[in-house]
Amino acid sequence: MKLFGWRPSLLGIYTVIFVIILYLPVALLPVFSFNDSATPKLPLVGFTTKWYASLAHNSTMHQAAWNSLVVGISTAILATVLGVCAARATTRHSFRGKASAAGLIMTPLFLPEIIVAISLLVLLLAIGMPLSLFTVILGHVLFCVPYAISVLVAGFEGFDPSLEEASHDLGAGVFETMRRVTLPVLFPSILSSLLVSFTISLDEFILAFFLSGTDPTLPVYIWGQLRFAAKLPNILALGSIMLAASLLMLVLAEFIRRRAERRVSAQV
Amino acid sequence: MNRRVQLALANPTVRGWLVISPPLVYALLLLVGPILVVVAYSFWTQDYLEIRREFTLDNYRAALGEPIYRDLLMRSLWISATVSVVTVVLSYPVAYFISFRGGRFKSLWLFAITVPFWSGYLLRILSWKVILGYNGIINSGLLALGLIKEPLTSILYNANAVVITLTHSWVAFAILPIYVSIEKIDRTLLEAADDLGDGPLRRFLRVTLPLSMPGIVAALLIVMIPTVGDYVTPRLVGGKDGVMIANAIQAQFGKASNWPLGSALAIATMLVVSTMALAGVGLLYGLRRLLR
């Protein structure tokens, strides 16, 4: 038996069920955000957009969204700049201690986030820096650099070093080579890294929770609202919007990355 | 340019360190530095509003000795070990499928599996609360179908709910290292096993599984170490019986305001989970030798 040219096997069926279960809980949020009931339960009672409409006049939420935007954009830019340095060093240079240096930079990915968050909190308060969106950005950059690196390394690997050498030989200086050769070739990976870092920052809760002081980001705002059962449908609506935005950015990042990959393999 | 600087720049090691220095210095200042400060705090004492900077092991004695903290730590270790084993068992077939049968859709499968991991951390846990709750989707659905008379109370606010939620959150992250290690296996070795008369099961146990062990080990560590310190999941779905060590650590930095004790709890947790993880790795490699 064949389904759409694919022969189902036990393993294949398992994988499909696995992916469905992976998405199911998240897919429930949008479903219940349109349900005309104050508590999310079955059976569904009717379609409404009132939970979305009430978000339009919620100025606290708007401030949190603005904060998230500021943090996300700053984090994306800083993490990508640092990520380019690390990705370049690991793909183009060979030197002693490279593995340990790269390992250290990747560590935030493998530690419990609460450890990273409280250590940063303790240090910042010890040196007397007040908590603000700036301190959230400091934490988010630390956390996003490893993801940025993993996206950017692929870009550097598909980038022929002889292009830069040729530019040098033709008399271009360091900055001209960077502007006219390096950045254009790496542009898709850089864009993809910006989008991924922004998405991760938008979604990140623990670091923001410990480091944000009195300016909440969206996840911190959501956390505060969870105490009020009556606010749950609004949170589901807000969450659905955030999920849709994240999904859009991740798909866009993947699309850009793949197109660039295809272009590189076409050149070879 | 100064001649000495030029000479230094000609050295590839110097150039490499120079290029990697911005992110490295950032990590040193904002990760290593802070962790060292926490280590220092863990040896100090909170004296009302002051910190007394005299070396003491009292915080560690409390963190590892007092029953509340010891129980929380044991429960956190138990939960994170369960989550990592269940996660690896559930992910392995998926990684296997993508590597052997993925064909030209391999990267699409991997992308589809990692997307939920990159977005909606808080929302995912929230949706499990909505699914498992007293008036939640499972209970209200079963009630509406007439399968149960009153809501099940055993599915939310306990350690099982924490295990389910954490497993669902981390399962995607375990697939990547396992996939990479299966992908690296030389396919001719499998053909050789076939030719030498191994059946599919024997071939899997003697070739594929041992050779993918580095991926399994990496996946176990990648899941176990971060989940031991999860804060949100126990708070949202754990209830009284699902409280984990991160909740106690947070309390010391919040309401209880005993930073040295909080620091000692954090450092002790990291040390214990690392030791346990290393012991687990040793056990797995011992097992691999037995399989051969």
Average pLDDT, chain B: 88
User: A241, A242, A246: which is closest to A52 by C-alpha?
Assistant: A241
Query: A31 at the B interface (CB within 8 A)?
Result: no
pLDDT tens-place string over residues B131-177:
888 778 888 888 888 888 888 877 778 888 999 999 999 998 899 99
Dihedral pair phi/psi, residue A37, rounded to 5°: -150, 145
B37 contacts A123? CB cut-off 8 A? yes
- Using a CB-CB cut-off of 8 Å, the residues of chain B touching A28 are 127, 130-131, 137
pLDDT at position B30: 95
pLDDT at position A74: 98
pLDDT at position A267: 58
Minimal C-alpha gap between A257 and chain B (Å) = 11
pLDDT band at residue B118, thresholds of 50, 70 and 90? confident
pLDDT at position A25: 87
**Could you count the other beta carbons within 10 Å of the beta carbon of residue B160?**
18
Q: Name the residue facing A95 among B16, B144, B222 (closest C-beta).
A: B16
Query: A21 at the B interface (CB within 8 A)?
Result: yes
Residues 50-79 on A with a CB inside 8 Å of B are none
Structure tokens at B198: 């191994």
pLDDT at position A109: 86
Structure tokens at B105: 């859709």
pLDDT band at residue B240, thresholds of 50, 70 and 90? confident
pLDDT at position A106: 93
Give the Cα-Cα-Cα angle A117, A123, A124 (nearest 5 degrees): 85
pLDDT band at residue B90, thresholds of 50, 70 and 90? very high
Give the distance from CA B121 to its chain's centroid.
14
pLDDT at position A266: 64
The CATH class of B57-291 is: mainly alpha
Radius of gyration of chain A (CA): 22
CB B237 within 8 A of CB B128: yes
Q: Name the residue facing A142 among B12, B30, B120 (closest C-beta).
A: B30
B126 contacts A118? CB cut-off 8 A? no
Q: Name the residue facing B97 among A11, A98, A250 (closest C-beta).
A: A11
- Using a CB-CB cut-off of 8 Å, the residues of chain B touching A89 are 16, 19-20
CB B83 within 8 A of CB B163: yes
Structure tokens at B193: 């096993």
A115 contacts B26? CB cut-off 8 A? no
- Using a CB-CB cut-off of 8 Å, the residues of chain B touching A107 are 27, 31
In chain B, the residue whose alpha carbon lies closest to the alpha carbon of A19 is B113
- Using a CB-CB cut-off of 8 Å, the residues of chain A touching B118 are 147, 196, 199-200, 203, 246, 250
pLDDT tens-place string over residues A62-76:
999 999 999 999 999
In chain B, the residue whose alpha carbon lies closest to the alpha carbon of A221 is B122
pLDDT tens-place string over residues B185-231:
988 888 888 888 888 888 888 889 989 998 999 999 989 999 998 99
B26 contacts A142? CB cut-off 8 A? yes
In chain A, the residue whose alpha carbon lies closest to the alpha carbon of B221 is A110
pLDDT at position A173: 80
Mean pLDDT of the B112-121 span: 83
Mutation target among B25, B28, B29, B31 for the A interface, most CBs of A within 10 A: B31
Q: Name the residue facing B27 among A110, A142, A246 (closest C-beta).
A: A142
Residues 45-84 on B with a CB inside 8 Å of A are none
pLDDT tens-place string over residues A161-196:
888 888 888 888 888 888 888 888 888 899 999 999
Query: B253 at the A interface (CB within 8 A)?
Result: yes
Q: Please say whether the dihedral angle defined by the alpha carbons of residues A246, A251, A252 and A256, taken in this order, is positive or negative.
A: positive
B116 contacts A95? CB cut-off 8 A? no
B137 contacts A119? CB cut-off 8 A? no
Q: Name the residue facing A26 among B24, B98, B127 (closest C-beta).
A: B127
Does ipTM come in above 0.90? Answer: no
- Find all residues with CB under 8 Å of A247, minimum gap 6, and list them: B115, B119
pLDDT at position A232: 87
d(CA A155, CA B191): 35
Question: Which positions of chain A have pLDDT values less than 50?
Answer: 1
Buried b / exposed e over B227-243, threshold 16 CB at 10 Å, is bbbbbbbbbbbbeeebb
Structure tokens at A97: 């201690």
Q: Which residue has the tokens 């991997």?
A: B110
Residues of chain B with CATH 1.10.3720.10: 57-291
pLDDT at position B193: 87
- Using a CB-CB cut-off of 8 Å, the residues of chain A touching B27 are 104-105, 107-108, 142, 145
* Alpha helices per DSSP H over A170-231: 174-177, 183-203, 206-211, 218-225
pLDDT at position A7: 65
Query: B39 at the A interface (CB within 8 A)?
Result: no
pLDDT band at residue B284, thresholds of 50, 70 and 90? confident
B38 contacts A118? CB cut-off 8 A? yes
The CATH superfamily of A52-267 is: MetI-like (1.10.3720.10)
**Could you count the other beta carbons within 10 Å of the beta carbon of residue A164?**
18
